[in-house]
Chains A and B, each alone.
Chain A
Amino acid sequence: MNLVRIYGLFLRHFYLITRSFPRILDLIYWPSIQITLWGFISNFFSDHSTYYNNAVGVILTCAILYDFLFRTSIGFNMLFLEEIWSRNFTNLFIAPIKIGEIITSLIITALIRALIGLVPAILLTSPLFGISLLDLGLHLFFLFLSLYIFGITLGILVSAGLLRFGPSFENIAWSTMFLLAPFGCIYYPVEILPEFFQKIAYSLPLVYIFEEARSILIDQTVNYKNIIYAFYLNGIYLILAITLFYYSFGQARKRGTLINIGE
């Protein structure tokens, strides 16, 4: 790993973000709108639902957590797509940068992108809805970390698809999070799902993360088993994703995608 090269690739995206006010606004705008919307829905449910009535802000907290996951994953994909759209792909892959360095750089940049959007949104929740994410305590860190790992895992998986299949994979890049959202049990307990869907849900780290968030906020109990399961599954998926990325790179070199994608 060469830190200068990792920094170089980070710099390419940092310049891009900081050069354009609309880009920064775009990063902040959507999470803030999303959180405000879910804040009002959350207020409504806290007044009208027996499940949520003891825990104002459960939905809002879950919305913030989900948005962080969404931003991290989409952020990673965007960084990769940016190279394709700007026809810079070939330049990047003929530079002496290792695959591991590309992944590391994009992981860091995706986190920064997600935080640019999320920090203002989180700050909004306190004056607007009187809710603080810090109510989750130290466990909040584990939940965010778990979501971050899963977000970049999805990002790496989609980027592997882009490498292997080229820009035609772009639509999948946008829809991954929407496909997984129903199984994530973000706003409802896993028991709501039909039995077969529950099996799928339990094979993803998301359900453990959001169950844990609800457990802390509604029952005021911490279930470390959920946190450990989430990290365990995250570890497996992350290793699989990185392996697939390397495999896709090899396949792209074999099939000529790296040349066609850049032109």
Chain B
Amino acid sequence: MENLVEVKNLEKKYGSKEAVKGISFNIQKNEILGLLGPNGSGKTTTIGMMLGLLKPTNGEILIDGKKIEENRIETLKKINFISPYIELPKKLTVKQNLIVYCKLYNVSNIKNRIEYLVGKLRLEDLLNRITGELSSGQKNRVSLAKALINNPTVLFLDEPTASLDPEIGDFVRSFLENYKKDKKISILLASHNMSEVTRLCKTVLMMKDGIIIDKGCPNELIQKHGRDNLEEVFLKLSRSKYELS
């Protein structure tokens, strides 16, 4: 299978503190890779480096065969990101925000792209509403539209369904599954929702203290650690010493 993302010996130090300690992994085309780990395990730092927001201390990240450090702008055209911790300008309408990001990503047919995403994400009634006045479920769908505005080949999702009610959470998960199937994109999913990870991810990486302590498909990990579900595996690994696979 073709690797769309290659992470090689990635390391990040803040002074003497090592946040990420030489990790390597790949994301294949049309794959959702789960990135799990307790708070402070290095997930956000890893994603930050993959988005070009952080400069790695060592190692390299290749997206579609190109090193992000040497081709930052070219690479950013192919990726996008959604996180509940970042927002779109609150005072702008949903439509205005989408237009602005279409321009920033140099989308060629803005009208068609917005219409497509509005239809897929059920945003018809929200288009002329002020973004800051939407509910968290509505904001989440708008952020998702922004994250797909450039038709990315790699999508980074940080807690994409955090604070959503079960119905909307399920809608977002189904949408992501279908979108990935349609567009054959690669997704890196960082989440604390273990049922979500079990449902969406083919492979899961478990991070702790800046290293990958285990990896595999969710069911394999459950069997390997003799637990009933991924949440129990997560708890076991979070509380124990490293169990390198």
Residues of chain A having any CB pair with chain B under 8 Å: 2, 4-5, 7-9, 11-12, 15-16, 19-20, 82, 86-98, 250, 253-256, 258-259, 262-263
Give Cα A258–Cα B49 distance, bound, in whole angstroms: 11
> A93 with B53: in contact, given A15-B92, A98-B73 (CB under 8 Å)?
yes
Q: Given the complex, which residues of A lie within 8 Å of B81, measured CB to CB? A: 90-91, 94
CB distance A259 to B54 under 8 Å?
yes
CB distance B91 to A256 under 8 Å?
no
Tell yes or no: B52 within 8 A of A by CB: yes
Near A by CB (< 8 A), chain B positions 118-158 give: 146
Q: Given the complex, which residues of B lie within 8 Å of A263, measured CB to CB? A: 85-86
CB distance B106 to A96 under 8 Å?
yes
Q: Given the complex, which residues of A lie within 8 Å of B100, measured CB to CB? A: 8-9, 11-12, 15
User: Could you give 29 example pairs across A and B, Cβ below 8 Å?
Assistant: A4-B106, A5-B106, A9-B100, A9-B103, A16-B91, A16-B92, A19-B92, A20-B91, A87-B87, A88-B86, A88-B87, A90-B81, A90-B86, A91-B88, A94-B52, A94-B81, A95-B76, A96-B76, A96-B105, A96-B106, A98-B73, A253-B53, A253-B55, A256-B48, A259-B45, A259-B48, A259-B54, A262-B86, A263-B86
CB distance B89 to A12 under 8 Å?
yes
Q: Given the complex, which residues of A lie within 8 Å of B83, measured CB to CB? A: 90
A226 to chain B, nearest CB (A): 41
B134 to chain A, nearest CB (A): 14
Q: Which of chain B's residues has its CB closest to A250's CB?
A: B55
A194 to chain B, nearest CB (A): 43
Q: Which 8 A/B pairs are nearest by Cβ-Cβ distance? A: A8-B103, A96-B76, A95-B104, A253-B55, A8-B104, A90-B86, A87-B87, A263-B85
B237 to chain A, nearest CB (A): 25
B18 to chain A, nearest CB (A): 13
Q: Which of chain B's residues has its CB closest to A90's CB?
A: B86
Instruction: Number of B interface residues at 8 Å Cβ cutoff, please give it.
Output: 36
Give Cα A91–Cα B92 distance, bound, in whole angstroms: 15
The 8 Å CB contact of B101, one of A15, A82, A95, A250, is A95
Give Cα A75–Cα B195 distance, bound, in whole angstroms: 47
Q: Given the complex, which residues of B lie within 8 Å of A88, measured CB to CB? A: 86-89
Render B44-76 as a binary contact track against A, CB cut-off 8 A, 1 for contact. 110010011111000000000000000001101
How many Cβ-Cβ contacts under 8 Å join chain A to chain B?
A: 106
A44 to chain B, nearest CB (A): 42
Q: Given the complex, which residues of A lie within 8 Å of B105, measured CB to CB? A: 95-96
Q: Which of chain B's residues has its CB closest to A98's CB?
A: B73
Tell yes or no: B77 within 8 A of A by CB: yes
What 18 additional pairs, Cβ within 8 angstroms, besides A16-B89, A94-B52? A5-B106, A8-B100, A9-B100, A11-B99, A11-B103, A12-B89, A20-B91, A86-B90, A86-B91, A87-B85, A87-B86, A88-B88, A90-B83, A91-B146, A93-B52, A94-B53, A95-B101, A96-B106
Give Cα A89–Cα B91 distance, bound, in whole angstroms: 15
Q: Given the complex, which residues of B lie within 8 Å of A95, measured CB to CB? A: 76, 101, 104-105
Give Cα A90–Cα B99 distance, bound, in whole angstroms: 18
Q: Which of chain A's residues has its CB closest to B75's CB?
A: A96
Q: Given the complex, which residues of A lie within 8 Å of B106, measured CB to CB? A: 2, 4-5, 96
Tell yes or no: B80 within 8 A of A by CB: yes
Give Cα A248–Cα B100 distance, bound, in whole angstroms: 25
CB distance A7 to B45 under 8 Å?
no
Tell yes or no: B5 within 8 A of A by CB: no
CB distance B53 to A96 under 8 Å?
no
Tell yes or no: B229 within 8 A of A by CB: no
B217 to chain A, nearest CB (A): 29
CB distance A86 to B79 under 8 Å?
no
The 8 Å CB contact of B54, one of A86, A91, A92, A253, is A253
Q: Which of chain B's residues has its CB closest to A85's CB?
A: B90
Give Cα A7–Cα B96 distance, bound, in whole angstroms: 13
> A9 with B48: in contact, given A94-B53, A94-B81, A98-B73 (CB under 8 Å)?
no
Q: Given the complex, which residues of A lie within 8 Å of B51, measured CB to CB? A: 94
CB distance A5 to B104 under 8 Å?
yes
